[in-house]
Amino acid sequence: MPVKRIKIIGGLLMILLFALLGRLVQIQLVSTESFTDHHINLIQSSVNQRTQVLSVDSGRGKFFDRNGEPLGHEEVPALVLFPFLKGMPWPSKTVAEAAGISERDLLSAVEKAEKPFTYGGKTPLYLTEAQMDEINSLKIPGVFAISQSVAKKMPAEQLIGTLTKWENRKKQLYPDQKLSPEAQVGNTGLQASFDEFLLSEGESKLVYHVDGMGGPLFGIDVKYVEPANPLYPVRVVTTLDAGLQAAAEQLADKYQIQNGGLILLDIATSEIRALVSRPSIDKKNPNVGSENKMFSQAKIGSVFKTVVAAAAIDYQLIKPGRLFDCNLTINGTPDVKRKLGTLDFEESFAQSCNRTFGDLAIQLAGINPDILDNYARKLHITGQSGWQGQIFHTELKQLFKEESGKVWENGTDKKDKRLAAHTGIGQQDVQVTPLAAANMMATIARGGESMMVKAVNKITFKNGSTVVDFPEQTLESESISPYTAMKLQTMLRRVVTDEKGTGRFLQGMPYEAAGKSGTAQTGKMRDGKELYNKWFAGYFPYKNPKYALVAVNLEVPEESGGINPLFQEMVREAYRLDQNKND
């Protein structure tokens, strides 16, 4: 072979050798924690290949209801077994007797195992405290009775929110931190609002080192690894009531609410006791269904007449003996669908006469075009109702992506009589969130006192000590007077007691209720039928108000999707659960 060719081949081999050495340096020394564009942690991957791990707890903060009941997870006292047991003698009979299971089933489960597992799989064996103590006292390598955090269906899923492992989201939230590829961060809901508190400080796990064949590397020593900081994971104590929430979810499904839901507030504190939003979150694609309909604005219809009524009362537009021709539509033509006759102000409200509130809105606009805007703010259906404030020098908003309601679009001629009339019945540009409507009812029931709506009461460390409290806070905007609130209370109750009232279906309830119905035209069609938003907003009990409730069914045909039975049964469920607590 010519010398020249040998030199060329030798040179190529040297280049190849240096390239391989360079790659080895990159893998071993330079890019050990972020290899390739996928940012693979080579050290962690190597450890994973040499260990068998059973996660006991992810280390991310957990959610609880107001009484300390876990939400979306369960602490399961479970039996954990390691696969190396199949290759060694161990007192399987003693363990089976202590756990109250068949020894044959126990041995069969171990024989099939290729990695550490919880006996029973998705329906783990629940051990008593005495059984756990007995099993652990045996000190058998590879046999553990532990309390394991197991995920279950999350109630109020849009309120609590979703998680993601998406790297771009992690970099957006924590540009200066290196998070594990498996680390999850909040994407929506309270998971996002409180992500800095909830972020994992490290998972709790059982770790067993193996060789390339899966055999023991350092004997049969299984280690329990937990976060270095014993105060974590934190506990987020929400304002939800697990019993009321479960009832609300069942009823929303019973009445086939596919677009809408309900929200229940505690009137004394303006805390969310239950919230259901439909459609549900798609587990395969969590972005589908993640929007919280209770925090999203929608056309509200006649519930807005409560705002017009408040303004009309304060501006003394309702003189004794004043009557309205409710045989006419809002445009002054004969109403062929609803001939209500001649009604006074309170009768008009109870029976939801459009003509009355169209006329009153025109009158108010003539006095001041901004009156309806002002009273919408006083009743807190524009702006935001959710709790917000300074926490550790940071402005925190509890409610994720809460939208603000509106009365007018920018540029709309507020003096136009036709537009003012349609605004007076909650049409035209009026958009309100169910959350804001519920807070309006709570404000009226409290006699005009305004409060921010809370979803979280406090965050505590693992040992129960408090990280941060979220005190009750009033809304900054001016509210209605106690006199106006009292008049509205009477009118909302008459909606139920009037023999022709739109809320008469609530007569005879175990809790006396007050409220206002709303049916809003959406301008949308489906299968040749016009679609409507159906609302009922109210509070109960009437004399000693405890709950404000709003139920909505969005974009349904006029003859279907009634919201009344949902509201009615939620009142019954609230009464039943309250009675059970008092017994």
Contact 296, 311 (CB under 8 A): no
* Residue 465: active-site member: no
> Whose CA is closest to 380, among 332, 447, 452?
452
**Which residues are within 8 A (CB) of 262 and not within 5 positions of it... i.e. 6 or more apart?**
248, 251, 252, 274, 275, 276, 294, 434, 549, 550, 551, 552, 566, 567, 570
For residue 258, give the 3-state DSSP assignment: coil
> Whose CA is closest to 510, among 574, 565, 562, 564?
574
Q: How far apart are CA 119 and CA 129, in angstroms?
A: 17
Please report where in the chains the tokens 């004394």 appear, as a residue.
268
Count Cβ neighbours within 10 Å for each residue of 416-444 and write b for 16 or more, e otherwise.
eeebbbbbbbbbbebbbbbbbbbbbbbbb
Please give the biggest Cα pair distance in the chain.
120
For residue 161, give the amino acid letter. Answer: G
Of the listed 149, 200, 270, 302, which one is catalytic?
Answer: 302
> Whose CA is closest to 145, among 154, 153, 135?
135
Chain length of the chain: 583
Bond prior to 279 in cis (omega within 30° of 0): yes
> Whose CA is closest to 338, among 349, 324, 322, 327?
327
Q: How far apart are CA 41 and CA 310, in angstroms?
A: 63
Q: At what angle do helices 305-314 and 354-367 cross, to 10 degrees?
A: 50
According to DSSP, the β-strands at 62-64 and 235-238 are parallel
CA distances from 146 to 59, 78, 186, 263, 479 (A): 16, 6, 28, 38, 54
Q: How far apart are CA 488 and CA 406, in angstroms?
A: 21
For residue 286, give the amino acid letter. Answer: P
Contact 310, 488 (CB under 8 A): yes
Active site residues: 302
